[in-house]
């Protein structure tokens, strides 16, 4: 079967690899992949790095992030999935961009129809945005600011809006500002043109944002210092989704929370790979329960995923797709590969 690989020189192409089997596997399924989506962080980085410093001696790097497809076969005793079911799956190191993959049960979200396969492929970025809003405790009537409106930021806007918060978005690309407003942001500003700190003080009558969700990268501490000024100095929360240097000013009581992945269990291989669940009474929103909620919301028409897809490529044109994002980030957001 075919699988996408990044060469030592940064070229992305399909290579022949053995097909997965269920032999010796924990609860899960073999999926026939129909779609994958490029992740600007997880899957783009090795391509950029290898193109910047090509080295033919480096081994091929397998691409994995988020996929959707059809269940082909399931492990014995797994009764809630059956061949033919349309599903979505997140997970670096699990959701390989290949014709077929083995999917552990806790990484599978069951979609209501095959018509949702393209939307469902956004599962990793969507559930990261959802988990970030849970960490931020986004709530009815509060003000949330989302800094960085890539795919994760777009979903942070959408979920904060669903939770009832007034949302302000911030990014330098006009396309992303427009999409944030379509996704529920009350306001969206380019920080080069608008003083976002001052604007939030104006909008909140001097209170500041109740929570800031940072889905951006930075090389120095200036971004964090700006975000810190956006939130209330006593009750504010800052959720760090992206990677930015921090230097928290002394004398303030802002709560700083880290957010990585799709929810509890994301870093636990016994949960994610072996299928050991957390009781819902103790951990209400695990990674799998977040994944399934995303799939259900798509089926109910409560999430706009289609507008976030800017480009579609056949998987044989994957190298062109990566080049598109690298060279024209201002025009690219959701880039889907079709198998």
Half-sphere exposure of residue 16: CA atoms within 13 angstroms, side-chain side: 0
- Evaluate whether 69 touches 35 at the Cβ level (below 8 Å): yes
CA dist., res. 244 & res. 216, Å (int): 7
Report the pLDDT value the prediction gives residue 176, as an integer from 0 to 100.
97
**Stretch 50-55: mean pLDDT:** 96
Q: Is residue 73 predicted with pLDDT exceeding 80?
A: yes
Q: Is residue 247 predicted with pLDDT exceeding 90?
A: no
Report the pLDDT value the prediction gives residue 98, as an integer from 0 to 100.
98
Report the pLDDT value the prediction gives residue 17, as an integer from 0 to 100.
97
Phi, psi of 313, rounded to the nearest 5 degrees: -135, 145
Report the pLDDT value the prediction gives residue 200, as an integer from 0 to 100.
98
Give me 178's structure tokens.
């427009």
CA dist., res. 291 & res. 288, Å (int): 5
Q: Is residue 39 predicted with pLDDT exceeding 90?
A: no
Max Cα distance, the chain (Å): 61
Query: pLDDT digits over 184-194, tens only?
Result: 999 999 999 99
Half-sphere exposure of residue 146: CA atoms within 13 angstroms, side-chain side: 36
What DSSP string describes 302-337? -S--GGGEEEEEEGGGHHHHHHHHHH-GGG-SEEEE
Taken in order of first residue, the domains within the chain and their CATH numbers are: 2-122+264-338 (3.90.180.10), 132-258 (3.40.50.720)
Put residue 293 in one of left, alpha, beta given phi > 0 → left and psi -120 to 50 → alpha.
alpha
Average pLDDT, rounded, for the chain: 96
- Report percent pLDDT > 70 for the chain: 100
3-state SS class at 209: strand
Q: Is residue 40 predicted with pLDDT exceeding 90?
A: no
Query: pLDDT digits over 93-142, tens only?
Result: 999 999 999 999 999 999 999 999 999 999 999 999 999 999 999 999 99
Query: pLDDT digits over 85-94, tens only?
Result: 999 999 999 9
Q: Where are the alpha helices (DSSP H) in the chain?
A: 44-52, 117-120, 123-136, 151-162, 174-182, 196-203, 222-230, 269-272, 287-299, 318-327
**Stretch 159-165: mean pLDDT:** 98
Q: Is residue 242 predicted with pLDDT exceeding 90?
A: no
Q: Is residue 261 predicted with pLDDT exceeding 80?
A: yes
| Per-residue exposure over 32-55, b if at least 16 CB sit within 10 Å of its own CB, e if not | ebbbbbbbbbbbbebbeebbeeee
What DSSP string describes 236-252? -EEEE-S-----PPTT-
Q: Is residue 248 predicted with pLDDT exceeding 80?
A: no
Phi, psi of 119, rounded to the nearest 5 degrees: -65, -40
Q: Is residue 251 predicted with pLDDT exceeding 90?
A: no
CA dist., res. 282 & res. 261, Å (int): 19
Query: pLDDT digits over 143-161, tens only?
Result: 999 999 999 999 999 999 9
Query: pLDDT digits over 198-220, tens only?
Result: 999 999 999 999 999 999 988 89
CA dist., res. 172 & res. 43, Å (int): 22
Close Cβ partners of 55 (under 8 Å, ≥ 6 residues apart): 8, 9
Residue 219 DSSP symbol: S
Report the pLDDT value the prediction gives residue 205, as an integer from 0 to 100.
98
Report the pLDDT value the prediction gives residue 52, as an integer from 0 to 100.
95
pLDDT band of 22, cuts 50, 70, 90 = very high
**Stretch 271-294: mean pLDDT:** 95
3-state SS class at 205: coil
- Report percent pLDDT > 90 for the chain: 92
pLDDT band of 249, cuts 50, 70, 90 = confident
């Amino acid at each position: 079967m075919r699988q996408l690989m990044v060469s030592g020189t940064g070229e992305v192409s399909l290579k022949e690899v053995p097909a997965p089997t269920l032999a010796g596997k924990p609860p899960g399924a073999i999926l026939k992949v129909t779609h994958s989506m490029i992740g600007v962080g997880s899957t783009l980085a090795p391509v950029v790095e290898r193109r910047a410093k090509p080295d033919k001696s480096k081994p091929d790097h397998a691409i994995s992030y988020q996929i959707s497809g059809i269940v082909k076969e399931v492990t014995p005793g797994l009764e809630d999935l059956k061949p033919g079911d349309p599903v979505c799956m997140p997970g670096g190191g699990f959701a390989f961009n290949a014709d077929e993959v083995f999917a552990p049960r806790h990484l599978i979200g069951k979609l209501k129809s095959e018509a949702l396969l393209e939307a469902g492929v956004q599962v990793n970025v969507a559930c990261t945005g959802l988990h970030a809003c849970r960490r931020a405790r986004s709530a009815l009537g509060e003000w949330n600011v989302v800094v960085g409106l890539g795919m994760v930021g777009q979903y942070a806007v959408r979920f904060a809006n669903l939770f009832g918060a007034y949302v302000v978005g911030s990014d330098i690309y006009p396309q992303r500002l427009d999409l944030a407003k379509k996704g529920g942001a009350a306001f969206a500003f380019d920080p080069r043109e608008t003083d976002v700190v001052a604007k939030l003080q104006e909008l909140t009558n001097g209170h500041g944002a109740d929570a800031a969700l940072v889905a951006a990268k930075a090389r120095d501490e200036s971004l964090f210092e700006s975000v810190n000024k956006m939130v209330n100095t006593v009750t504010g929360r800052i959720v760090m989704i992206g990677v930015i240097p921090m230097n928290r000013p002394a004398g303030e009581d802002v709560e700083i929370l880290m957010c990585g992945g799709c929810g509890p269990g994301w870093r636990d291989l016994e949960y994610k790979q072996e299928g050991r669940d957390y009781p819902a009474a103790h951990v209400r929103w695990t990674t799998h329960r977040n994944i399934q909620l995303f799939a259900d919301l798509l089926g109910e028409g409560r999430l706009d995923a289609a507008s976030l897809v800017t480009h579609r490529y056949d998987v044989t044109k994957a190298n062109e797709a990566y080049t598109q994002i690298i060279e024209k980030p201002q025009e690219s957001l959701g880039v889907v590969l079709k198998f």
